[in-house]
Structure 1
Amino acid sequence: MTSLPEIQQIEKRIQGLGSSVRSEVLAYSELDSLRFPIYKVTFGSEDPKAPVLGFTGGVHGLERIGAQVCVALMNSLAELALWDETIKRTLQDIRVFFIPTVNPIGIYKKTRSNPRGVDLMRNAPVEGEAPARWVGGQRFSNRLPWYRGEVGAPMEVEAQALIAAVEKEIAQSSLAVTIDVHSGFGFQDRIWFPYAKTVKPFPDLPLAYSLKDLLDRTYPHHFYRFEPQAQSYTTHGDLWDYLYDNHLQARGEKTYLPLCLEMGSWLWVKKNPWQIFRAEGPFNPIKGHRQRRTLRRHNTLMEFLIRAVASPQAWANLSELQKEDFDKKARELWYATN
């Protein structure tokens, strides 16, 4: 039976942990004789109001390293949950979930899009403000990159599965953070926050600045560039813009911050220029030692986010004065020219 190493690793981990982990198949991605499950694996509290942290990857099949990083982080947390008493106590109060292979056939076929030729990160019914031509999403043909899908058509199976799973997790949660793992842009690893659709500041700007400030103070020598995604480029159809806006309308006192980890793949190409001639070359660390380094590179970020979600008083429970102060600082840092 045809499968993916990443899916095999997920299934092995599910079998090994038994009742200490909750797993489900969100949907199946299908193309001709291929049929791959989209797994969600969850650790921790079953209280729907508990703070929640989510990791997703493999939305773009060519960016396979994103799925592999998600699986590696899931495996690390699974091991910690077996013996680390601090993690065990933390997981009594929060929930952590993983959806590592959102677009499994794209990973298998080494395509950016899903089996129907749709770029899942351009597929939501969100219209961007003057996004870059083509790169921001197009409806001309699924034979060309960045295809959004037909006007008025339902979102793709993979996109619907991701959105339904995340909406279920964040609907009642007092504090929710998700991080979607990608590669393919820049020489530096970036942590992006919304919006992708507009260069205007998004409503929870003080919250994003507060988390950045906490990261900077906790790990002053970290290597991430924390910034709004739209400062790099804007797009139509971003799934996380869609999720955030829907949650914003109905959230009440609940807080949700979607993040994107954009790994700087240009550095891998710079160090090994010949890989540019392989389909996956611009997006993945081809050399074995670089792949291994990447797979262990983001453990500190995961541990930081677990602590941050478990400790909202440190950054998320902002007073009105703090919101005003952080909003001013964020605009000076990120939007001084706007």
Structure 2
Amino acid sequence: MHDLPPTTAAQSPRSLHSPYSLTPARDAAASFAEMEELKTILRAGNAHFDVAVVAEAHTAAPSFPLYTASIGSADPKAPAVGFFGGIHGLERIGTQLILHYMRALLHRLEWDELLHRQLEKTRLVFMPIVNPGGMWAHKRANPQGVDLMRNAPHRADARVPFLAGGQTVSPQLPWYCGRPGTPMEVESAAVLHVVREQLASRPFSLALDCHSGYGFDDSLWFPYARTRRLMPHLPEMFALRTMLERSHPHHAYSFEPQSNQYLLHGDLWDHAYDHAPAENIFLPMTLELGSWLWIRKNPRQLFSRHGIFNPIKAHRTRRVLRRHADLLDFLTRAAYSAPRWLPLGDQRVQLARLAAAHWRPRRVL
């Protein structure tokens, strides 16, 4: 597989007047709840959000637009934060978390003077539903059977878990990377396009991709997933982790390189990070919500494909949305204040040593 050239990857944002609009779908079967909620938020925020369709995802029945919504400073050098969700169609809670945050943001704009000042100097980019075809069909992969998080062209440099680390045998099996030598999927290319044009092109940017389904604990993972080698921006990531520890001392996140858990082929964020301009700082993270905790509290969820990856009880869903909104707000504040905390000179050298000791590569699955 290989990345697509700029002219054939996700195209430049285009008008919503045609062929897509933000009006509710006439046929409920041709949409799903999260897509309709996103449209509702974008209609309500049409005076604030810059909305674009960056690509079009095809399924056997309906086709879906891949929406982005951006808000804040128009300065191309302003720091930015990107929020992504729904890369795996079954993991709806990640999309719901981002939609919850977008909705709250709009309400805060009515009265929050500090938020207005923050947005004068930062840019927020939202892509809440990366894999609408998979979400519509209640599948993890996209309609072509490709796991978008394993769709980048690189291979891991050591052994990966059987199947779960990515496989190229068949789309009928889970965790399919796609056929070697073929272009990346439209959805994967669209994410990379948004990162390249709206995030990594800036002197400083962050990205948070919201997932679920791993373990009893909530985790924040960052590159690399393909190698035990530590990322070049480890001092900056360690500084961010330290700020989170000090400002939210009771948070429950495990914050570490993904390779400390397991390696995988074709990680999308490894690819995005490696292709960011060397002179800029781009720090991507994946939020993994520990869905096993919900299953332990309600074992009947094991008998539902939806329940394996999402809280079923309404009060647990509300608790998840409340609990993680602080993290999203923390990242927007960290971007706004980046000049105050980004390490330089001797401090960066010292943090590099501390970070390497703290995140020393260990044996993986």
- TM-score by structure 2 length? 0.89
Match of 2:54 in 1: 26
CA-CA distance at 1:285 after TM superposition: 0.5
- Equivalent-residue separation in structure 1 for 2:123 and 2:264 (angstroms): 31
Q: Match for 2:163 among 134, 146, 149?
A: 134
- Equivalent-residue separation in structure 2 for 1:277 and 1:337 (angstroms): 35
Match of 1:333 in 2: 358
- Equivalent-residue separation in structure 2 for 1:190 and 1:290 (angstroms): 18
Match of 2:234 in 1: 205
In the TM superposition, what are the counterparts of 1:31-110 in structure 2 within 5 Å?
Answer: 31-110=59-138
Is 2:189 aligned against 1:160?
Answer: yes
- Equivalent-residue separation in structure 2 for 1:295 and 1:337 (angstroms): 32
Determine if contact 1:171/1:251 at 8 Å carries over to the other structure: no
Structure 2 CA distance for partners of 1:251 and 1:336, relative to 1, 3 Å: closer
The one-letter code sitting in structure 2 at the alignment partner of 1:328 is R
Residues 88-138 of structure 1 show CA distances to partners (whole Å, capped at 9, x for unaligned) of: 011010000110000011112111100000000010111112222211110
Is 2:305 aligned against 1:279?
Answer: yes
Determine if contact 2:259/2:361 at 8 Å carries over to the other structure: no
- The SS at the match of 2:110 is helix
Determine if contact 2:81/2:199 at 8 Å carries over to the other structure: no
The structure carrying a bigger helix percent of its residues is 1
Q: Match for 1:13 among 32, 38, 41?
A: 41
Runs of 4+ in 1 over 6 A off after TM superposition: none
- The SS at the match of 1:197 is coil
The one-letter code sitting in structure 1 at the alignment partner of 2:300 is W
CA-CA distance at 1:277 after TM superposition: 1.2
Match of 1:219 in 2: 248
Residues 52-75 of structure 1 show CA distances to partners (whole Å, capped at 9, x for unaligned) of: 001000000111111111111111
Match of 2:278 in 1: 251
Residues 171-205 of structure 1 show CA distances to partners (whole Å, capped at 9, x for unaligned) of: 43121000000001011111111101111211111
- Equivalent-residue separation in structure 2 for 1:156 and 1:100 (angstroms): 17
The one-letter code sitting in structure 2 at the alignment partner of 1:282 is I
Is 2:333 aligned against 1:307?
Answer: yes
- TM-score by structure 1 length? 0.96
> Aligned pairs, how many?
334
CA-CA distance at 1:337 after TM superposition: 5.3
- The SS at the match of 2:104 is helix
Q: Match for 1:169 among 182, 191, 198?
A: 198
Is 2:351 aligned against 1:321?
Answer: no
Match of 2:321 in 1: 295
What root-mean-square deviation, in Å, do the aligned CA atoms of Structure 1 and Structure 2 show?
1.3
The one-letter code sitting in structure 1 at the alignment partner of 2:345 is E
Match of 2:261 in 1: 232
Determine if contact 1:67/1:181 at 8 Å carries over to the other structure: yes
Q: What 5-or-longer segments of structure 2 have no aligned partner?
A: 1-26
- Equivalent-residue separation in structure 2 for 1:162 and 1:172 (angstroms): 14
CA-CA distance at 1:146 after TM superposition: 0.5
- The SS at the match of 2:172 is coil
CA-CA distance at 1:17 after TM superposition: 1.9
- The SS at the match of 2:153 is coil
- The SS at the match of 1:262 is strand
